Structure 1
Amino acid sequence: MRRAVAVSAAILIISTGAAHAEPVESIAWAPCPDNPEGQCGTLSVPLNWNKPRGQRIDLAIARHRATDPARRIGVLVVDPGGPGGSAAEFALSSLFSPEVRARFDIVGVDQRGTGGSLAIRCADLVGGGPSIHPQDEAGFTALLRHNQKALAQCRERSGPVFDHADGATVVRDIDAARRALGERKISYFGLSYGTTFGQVYAEKFGRNVRAMVLDSVVDHSADLRRFVGDRAAASDDSFREFEKWCAGSTSCALHGQDVRAAWEAALVRADARPGGRQDLLDNMYFALRGPDWLYAVDLITGALTLRTQSFEPNYESVRLASVCQDFSLRLKDFRDYERMRAEELRRSPILRGSFLGHDEATACIGVPGQPANPPHRLDIGDAPKIMVINSRYDPTTPHEWAVSIKRQAPRNTALLTYEGWGHIAYPRSACTRTNVDDYLINLTTPAVSCPAVPQ
């Protein structure tokens, strides 16, 4: 769907009461230019929430009104993750079932640095640098200096929002949206990196939560070792599932063959061209993430040209301002890097580590200071029962992370496992959809698991 463009609007300051020191501003809604079913506007918030009466910025916001107003439950705030995905666009998407769309106003606020909220665009500065797989101290130093230069230029280009885009700041924006919408409580649905915001919101504003779904969880308690290592292990687990599929499916061109040996041979062939091995590894990660097992077969047999893979439009840029401030990804020297790389290879001998975990950890090399919103054990004592849902085999957000969330907050969470494959679980089957919808609408505790849908 094309970007839902935020429209200019007059702002009316309204009283916030004694509970809130910051001024809350109402939203002037107008039809979205690219989606007449949606309403778009801007939400005015402080640039720095520690200085609530200082400089303000406008964030893009959109909503799809409940299609059955007489049965409306309230507001469902959504975030597609990334970081870099437009929540305003996501709110107007077709992901949600007709019943959810009937009962909720679905609202998305573009995270600072994304979409229509002062998008950080620095991919041209970040790309083209030294290898993110340095082989020695000199290679690490070259990467460090490249990152430091790109970081300084990106900060200068982006302006002050660059230093105010961490998860703890984003959730203040979400609660400002709640107040501007006149809601005492909100429901929340976060996908992937949007689950990080959900966890922090539940910690800081748990009493304002009616219901919350965390789909494909990024565990905000993960340190560097787990952030990279757990993803590396999950990548290999996903490949082993692909091997099982090949063994049992005649539609696999490698059926009856030693898939692992064929994969190793493909890696050797890829070495014949510069960067070929890493391109092959990266493409296999995306094939398993889907999953798209027929594409994985073609990668191994060499039946097609490798694709250029990418995430959200400004993912490479905004992660410097968000991921690097929400997690302690601080590799100080080559020795630190070697330790991380050894852990990756120990846990992932097949895929040689995690494409995403490695990419994000090395992107944060050179980021100064401590993270603004550091990882920590989850503390959501004020929140209601939160639904956590995850695929069993997901190389992006390992199932182990969902289990970790459940372990950290056993009384406040209910875990639903989709016993299948791929990233994002909600749309995978009638079982996953029904359980999530029943929870959101009726606050029904979900089942323990949903069976896999054959690929």
Structure 2
Amino acid sequence: MDTSRLLRTTGTALAAAGLLLSGCTSDGSTASRASASAVRGTTPSAQPTAVPAALRPYYEQKPAWRDCGVPGFQCATMKAPLDYAHPESGQDIDIAIARRPATGPGKRLGSLLVNPGGPGGSGIGYLQAFAGIGYPASVRAQYDMVSFDPRGVDRSSPVQCLTGPGMDKFTQVDQTPDDEAERARLVASFKEFAAACRERSERILPHVSTVDAARDMDMLRAVLGDEKLTYVGASYGTFLGATYADLFPARVGRLVLDGAMDPSRSAIDMNRDQTAGFETAFRSFARDCAKQPDCPLGKGGPDAVAARLGEFFTALDAEPVPSGDPARPLGESLATTGVIAALYDESAWPQLREAIAAAQDGDGSGLLALADTYYEREPDGRYANLMYANAAVNCLDQPPSFSGPEAVQAALPSFRKASPVFGTGLAWAALNCTYWPVKATGAARPLTAKGAAPIVVVGTLRDPATPYKWAQALAGQLDSGVLLTYDGDGHTAYGRGSTCIDNAINTYLLEGKPPQNGKKCT
């Protein structure tokens, strides 16, 4: 249950996990991806005059767009310096980019860059599976819908760590250790994970921070020919967007940050806040479950339902149940991940009830399937690199939450207070960066983006992964932040059924008119 600071949209993930893995190329081979390399030399009209000389060849790239193998989409590869501190070194990495041209009619407004979160989420997969076809027709008519896989993610010099069988083993490690032996096994698993990342990805690991990705975004803006960046970032994508705005405030166009993070929070505070967020989401699920005739956790208030879920987890810790995969019986760790996966989106609550009921009857396949969508595990045992990139980015962006197991032990009471159900497991999961092979290059700090155009920050009151107070904080930190609130459940708000939210954001994207600061929607 490595859920530490995994911030992502999942509105389509549970229903279309396979689609989210669809590639920019028809065969997915390295050679095919490399053949889409951009050609440098033509200067777009958006060439910024303040770009350092060493970076100008990168900003002057002209992408060689080609068919993706997915109808309506085009793909290319953009070159970026591996190390922005030494762009003249000649060491480059490939950044995969994709677009769906504006469908018209009407005036083309430029490019709309979208990011689904993570860190580690594939922007291209998200674009092809949802944003490029599911955003409002009026938006798609006037914008080229664009995304990219950030460096270290999927098609863009991906971070690689464990093998499939190794990852299967890692996801089953007990993250609620009851004694010293179990704590030692958990620590060993984190060390093995980190060592595998170093062994297989040593070149890229120091260069996948959010700042690096934000610099790549500015290069992409210029390569696309846009004077300013128009962007919708969800979940972790809000931190990426806010980082961009802070680095390049004069190049901010229309930015929407949905399911916002608070960049001023330390790693341990973020993990504790997120733990409380999952508790809030679970209590919403519990209240709803108790009203349903098929609730497997019985009747009563959220405390009673939570107690029964805790008993269910304890039973699985003692004796896992069959899941249909002999190598992966459903134990506490996988079951907890499956529950957490469903809490991202209230539309998955019926599926969660059914999966828990089946597991109580000795069939863990339903909760295992939910956990697999969370980890982006394919039926053949292959994993997307989501969890590897997630750790690599998080561990660079901030120093680790804990110095070691003793520090986790000391923090357990505060995590259990935040969530009696999930607190212990999420506290131990936050140990993942402690043994990371690369020292953090970032630190928690407010992002102000002084002088930027209005930036719309969206918060959902009962968001499990990005607590509402984070949206309040980010909107307050940004010099031009505008807070838009959704009184609802689930992770993020745009495109999730609120006409009020969607109209406010669409009006901003199409007309440049932000909503009134503090506007609330249901």
| TM-score normalised over the length of structure 2 | 0.78
Aligned to 1:3: 23
Answer yes or no: is the 8 Å Cα contact 1:25–1:43 preserved in 2.
Answer: no
Please report how far the alpha carbon of residue 366 of structure 1 lies from its aligned counterpart in structure 2 after TM superposition: 0.6
Residue type of the alignment partner of 1:208:
R
Structure 1 residue 36 corresponds to structure 2 residue 56: no
More moved, 5-14 vs 249-258? 249-258
Residue type of the alignment partner of 1:107:
V
1:227 corresponds, among 260, 270, 287, to 270
Q: CA RMSD in A?
A: 2.7
Aligned to 1:398: 467
Q: Following the alignment from structure 2 to structure 1, what is the Cα–Cα distance between the partners of residues 476 and 78?
A: 36
2:51 corresponds, among 20, 23, 31, to 20
Structure 1 residue 289 corresponds to structure 2 residue 344: yes
Unaligned ranges ≥5, structure 2: 1-18, 26-32, 321-329, 377-383
Aligned to 1:81: 117
Please report how far the alpha carbon of residue 314 of structure 1 lies from its aligned counterpart in structure 2 after TM superposition: 1.3
- Cα gap change, 1:269 to 1:144, in 2 (>3 Å): closer
Aligned to 2:216: 173
1:340 corresponds, among 402, 411, 420, to 411
Residue type of the alignment partner of 1:426:
Y
Residue type of the alignment partner of 1:63:
R
Answer yes or no: is the 8 Å Cα contact 1:81–1:191 preserved in 2.
Answer: yes
Matches within 5 A, 1:225-304: 225-246=268-289, 257=300, 260-270=303-313, 271=315, 272-274=318-320, 276-291=331-346, 292-298=348-354, 301=357, 302=360
More moved, 88-97 vs 135-144? 135-144
Q: Following the alignment from structure 1 to structure 2, what is the Cα–Cα distance between the partners of residues 200 and 33?
A: 30
Q: Following the alignment from structure 1 to structure 2, what is the Cα–Cα distance between the partners of residues 376 and 300?
A: 40
Answer yes or no: is the 8 Å Cα contact 2:191–2:435 preserved in 1.
Answer: yes
Answer yes or no: is the 8 Å Cα contact 2:403–2:434 preserved in 1.
Answer: yes
Q: Following the alignment from structure 2 to structure 1, what is the Cα–Cα distance between the partners of residues 405 and 48?
A: 53
More moved, 128-137 vs 147-156? 128-137
- Cα gap change, 1:201 to 1:354, in 2 (>3 Å): farther
Say which SS state the counterpart of residue 371 (structure 1) adopts. coil
Aligned length: 448
Identity across aligned pairs (percent)?
29
Residue type of the alignment partner of 1:420:
G
Residue type of the alignment partner of 1:41:
A
1:55-74 deviation per Cα after TM superposition (whole angstroms, max 9, x unaligned)? 11211111111112651112
- Cα gap change, 1:252 to 1:178, in 2 (>3 Å): same
Structure 1 residue 198 corresponds to structure 2 residue 241: yes
Q: Following the alignment from structure 1 to structure 2, what is the Cα–Cα distance between the partners of residues 251 and 433?
A: 33
Say which SS state the counterpart of residue 307 (structure 1) adopts. helix
Please report how far the alpha carbon of residue 209 of structure 1 lies from its aligned counterpart in structure 2 after TM superposition: 0.9
Matches within 5 A, 1:38-77: 38-54=73-89, 55-68=91-104, 70-77=106-113
1:176-232 deviation per Cα after TM superposition (whole angstroms, max 9, x unaligned)? 111212221111111111112111101001111111111112222211332111112
Please report how far the alpha carbon of residue 76 of structure 1 lies from its aligned counterpart in structure 2 after TM superposition: 1.2
1:318-372 deviation per Cα after TM superposition (whole angstroms, max 9, x unaligned)? 12320111133242122211133222101112443575x753x222121256421
Matches within 5 A, 1:44-443: 44-54=79-89, 55-68=91-104, 70-92=106-128, 93-124=132-163, 128-129=169-170, 131-135=174-178, 140=183, 142-246=185-289, 257=300, 260-270=303-313, 271=315, 272-274=318-320, 276-291=331-346, 292-298=348-354, 301=357, 302=360, 305=364, 306-308=367-369, 309=371, 310-312=374-376, 313-352=384-423, 355=426, 359=429, 361-368=430-437, 370-409=439-478, 411-429=479-497, 430-443=499-512
Q: Following the alignment from structure 1 to structure 2, what is the Cα–Cα distance between the partners of residues 380 and 87?
A: 24
Answer yes or no: is the 8 Å Cα contact 2:38–2:77 preserved in 1.
Answer: no
1:128-187 deviation per Cα after TM superposition (whole angstroms, max 9, x unaligned)? 355434456665555445433432332231241221001000111111111212221111
Please report how far the alpha carbon of residue 281 of structure 1 lies from its aligned counterpart in structure 2 after TM superposition: 3.1
Please report how far the alpha carbon of residue 255 of structure 1 lies from its aligned counterpart in structure 2 after TM superposition: 7.5
Residue type of the alignment partner of 1:293:
W
Q: Following the alignment from structure 2 to structure 1, what is the Cα–Cα distance between the partners of residues 101 and 133?
A: 13
- Cα gap change, 1:266 to 1:354, in 2 (>3 Å): closer
1:363-392 deviation per Cα after TM superposition (whole angstroms, max 9, x unaligned)? 212125642122211221132111111221
Unaligned ranges ≥5, structure 1: none
